[in-house]
Amino acid sequence: MLQILHNNRCGKSRNCLAILESKKLEFEIINYLTTPPTEATLKSVLKKLGIPPIDLVRQKEKLWIDTFKGKTLSEEEIINIMITNPILIERPLLITETSAIIARDEAKIHNFLQ
């Protein structure tokens, strides 16, 4: 089943959700701020995205800048930081059984859903 990792306070996330609703697709909304992904889930999403953990971090987020920027961190440490601080996870994410995208671009969302 299609899932969206969603933050209702994020305009890009709300836009992605609106696209899903307009297409009348069946999907699950996961508010990742209240239900953070597990380590296994996050690793699975990273594998589907085909990116290293640092590329899923919201590096302009104040928490990242104040606490982690400039530090040498392993991939495992970055994953644990995102689990502990889910606000640092890039959003929204669209996830299927076999693939995932960071769904910030409308055209990318439409292509993914075809």
Q: What is the pTM of this model?
A: 0.93
Task: Give the residue numbers annotated as catalytic, written as ranges.
Answer: 10
Measuring CA to CA, which residue among 103, 1, 2, 7 is closest to residue 56?
Answer: 103
Nearest 5°: the CA angle 23, 99, 29 is 50
How many domains, the chain? Answer: 1
Show the domain range for 53. Answer: 2-113
CA–CA gap between residue 90 and residue 56 (Å, rounded): 5
For residue 41, the Cα-to-chain-centroid distance in whole angstroms is 11
Q: Each residue of 54-85: pLDDT tens digit?
A: 999 999 999 999 999 999 999 999 999 999 99
114 pLDDT higher than 90: no
Residue 93 maps to which CATH number?
3.40.30.10
| Average pLDDT over the chain, rounded to an integer | 96
